[in-house]
Structure 1
Amino acid sequence: MTVAVTAAGGQLGRLVVEALLAAGERPVAIVRDPGKVADLAARGADVRQASYDDPAALDAALVGVDRVLLISGNEFGSRIAQHTNVIRAAERAGVELLAYTSIPRAESNSMVLAADHRGTEEVLATASVPTVLLRNSWYWENYGGAVANAAQSGVLHGAMAAGRVSGAARADYAEAAARVLTGEGHEGRVYELGGDEALTGADLASAVTEAKGVTVRYENHTQDDYTAALRAAGLEDQYAAVLADADARIGEGVLEVNTGDLAKLLGRPATSAATVFARQ
């Protein structure tokens, strides 16, 4: 069985390839720039070059591949078309399983970030190959910059009000994906993946306190005020707006996941926020 991972040079993709290598597989690592994953090639990964915008290259990259993990791209507004290119290439290759990294409850999730996931899932619903949805909640690593700032200022800022987020370490989601790609019985499944902790803003501040050994409190803002604060901190306007929207939608519960699917796939508890924050 040959397993391919797209966007293998990215943060999640690299971790999935590493998990597959650790499991004794020789995965196909599909990347735009093979130079970024020379270390993975040295460890046994079969590195193939292709971008989401190049159907011919995707066809070549999927030759002889049995299972594919399509990791969602980061070019907002272009992602549905790009993901569709991968889906069609997987169909032409006749793969036996196509997994996609989506977002919790994509069909109803109100995040701006969810729109491209929802559109991709609609394409997958009509695909001629078996599919599985890995609906990943937040990575605790997403708070890296906020954790560093909070450790210095004593304040963790956000716009999630009393909402809760069920996060986990990026490596947890990668390991779960690797287990799905190498396991059996996952065809047609929809996994709502989130960590064992569902944390409020105040809980996140407590996790920073535990991880960094300094007292940190949470301060909530309106979405508009939080957007302005992120822009003032140097974030590009669109990125600041997307992050603030995500935080505000967390306040509506869109990233609170209580299925236990992640821990079941891992066979262990997910990594805590404090553990991840201590590494940042």
Structure 2
Amino acid sequence: MVIGVTGASGRLGRAVVDELLIRGVPAERIVAIVRNPQETTDLSDSGVRVEYGDYDWRDTLTGALPGVNRLLLISSSSRQRRVRQHRSVIDAAVRTGVESIAYTSMVRAQGNPTMLAEAHRGTEAMLRASPIPWTMLRHDWYWENYTAGLDAVIARGELLGAAGAGRVSGAAIADYAAAAATVLTTDGHAGVVYELGGDYALSGVQIAGCIAAVAHRPVAYRMLEPDAYAEALVETGLPRSVAAEAADNEIGIAAGWFDMRSGDLHRLIGRDTTPLSSVVRTALREYGSQFAERSETGNPDRGGHL
């Protein structure tokens, strides 16, 4: 059996490839499909088959997929072109005889009213209409979403948001990668929709409190109206369209769409999901943060799920 992973140079894709190798999948039976093969020479050196495949060019995908039995389709990062790009991958998979596709969708995709969920619904519909057996891996929030600009959050002493008391059942990228690896290496997942969320859910106040506990600095949650939150993100340099989607996601969180404690993720990975504190502490260390040394003292995991 040969396993293909699209977007294999991204954080999630690379984590999946690494997880497959850890689980003993022979390197030569893994196909890492990337846009820039020159950036993944370490994978090639390890024996992984690295293939050039660009979501915008169907022919490159058709050339990358021959011999792949099981494929993980990692959602494109292009908001405007996502559905069309995913169609190219699915069409290429059909043409080359791929036997199953697992897709990284969004939590509660069929009913989720957020802007980001629309493209995932479209991709799920294409997969259901294709002749290839599929598995939906509907992801909740990544805890890593809260580590971008973490130094600034800690220095400022406040975490901005517009979700009110809404909770997010987040998990680490490594958790979602482990779930994907399970689906790719075991049987019985065809036609299954997995709603993947962490073992616990946190509000913005609790997330800010967790960051404060790890950094040993006061961090408060500052609730804004969605429009004001979007403007604050624009001021940090985000494009207005991206800021608008982020604010829209906060509305979805407030409405409960991202509180998904189904247990599916825990069952697939066979362990507890990663605490937010662990992700924050790792991020501070990897970023070379001025607060990293503080985060290594004490026991910020003392709150259990935090």
Pairwise same-fold verdict (TM > 0.5): yes
Q: Is the 8 A contact 1:149 1:156 kept in 2?
A: no
In the alignment, structure 1 residue 248 sits paired with structure 2 residue 285: no
| TM-score for both structures, normalised by structure 1 | 0.97
Partner of 1:171: 174
- 1:13-35: per-residue Cα shift (whole Å, max 9, x none)? 11111111112222100011101
* Residue equivalent to 2:150: 147
Q: For 2:169 and 2:72, locate their aligned partners in 1 and report how far apart those are by CA, in whole Å.
A: 23
In structure 1, the residue matched to 2:3 is 3
Alignment of 1:120-139 (within 5 A): 120-139=123-142
With 216-225 and 87-96 compared, the bigger mean Cα shift is at 87-96
Write the deviation string for residues 235-277 of structure 1: whole angstroms up to 9, x where unpaired. 1111111111112211111111111111101100000111101
Distance 1:233 1:22 in 2: 38
TM-score (normalised: structure 2): 0.89
Letter in 2 for 1:12: L
Choose from 64, 76, 80 the match for 2:79.
76
Pick the aligned partner of 1:207 from 207, 210, 233.
Answer: 210
4+ runs deviating over 6 angstroms: none
Give unpaired runs (5+ residues) of structure 1: none
**One-letter amino acid of the counterpart of residue 159, structure 1:** A
* 1:147 Cα deviation after fit: 3.2
Write the distance in 2 (CA, Å) between the matches of 1:211 and 1:63.
47
Query: 1:14 corresponds to which residue?
Result: 14
Match of 1:232 in 2: 235
Per the TM alignment, residue 206 of structure 1 is displaced from its structure 2 partner at its CA by 1.2
The CA distance in 2 between the partners of 1:47 and 1:112, in whole Å, is 33
Corresponding residue to 1:116 among 119, 123, 135: 119
Q: Encode CA deviations 1:59-80: one digit per residue, 9 max, x unaligned.
A: 1211111000000001112111
Q: Distance in 2 between matches of 1:100 and 1:23?
A: 20
Report SS of the residue matched to 1:113.
Answer: helix
Q: Deviations over 1:84-139 (max 9, x none)?
A: 11111111222221000000111111111111101101111111010000001111
Partners of 1:191 and 1:28 in 2: CA distance: 24
Are 2:276 and 1:273 aligned?
Answer: yes
Which of residues 38, 41, 47 in structure 2 aligns to 1:38? 41
Q: Secondary structure at the match of 2:4?
A: strand
Amino acid corresponding to residue 86 of structure 1 in structure 2: V
Residue identity opposite 2:221 in structure 1? Y
Q: CA separation in 2, counterparts of 1:132 and 1:145?
A: 30
Deviations 1:181-208 (A, max 9, x none): 0111001000000111200011101110
State whether structure 2 residue 269 is matched by structure 1 residue 263: no
User: Secondary structure of 2:148's match?
Assistant: helix
Equivalent residue number for residue 108 of structure 2 = 105
- Secondary structure at the counterpart of residue 268 of structure 1: coil
Q: Please give the alpha-carbon distance, in whole angstroms, between the structure 2 residues aligned to 1:232 and 1:85.
A: 36
Identity of aligned residues (%): 46
Amino acid at match of 2:32: A
**CA-CA distance at 1:146 after TM superposition:** 4.9
Report how far residue 150 of structure 1 moved: 2.3
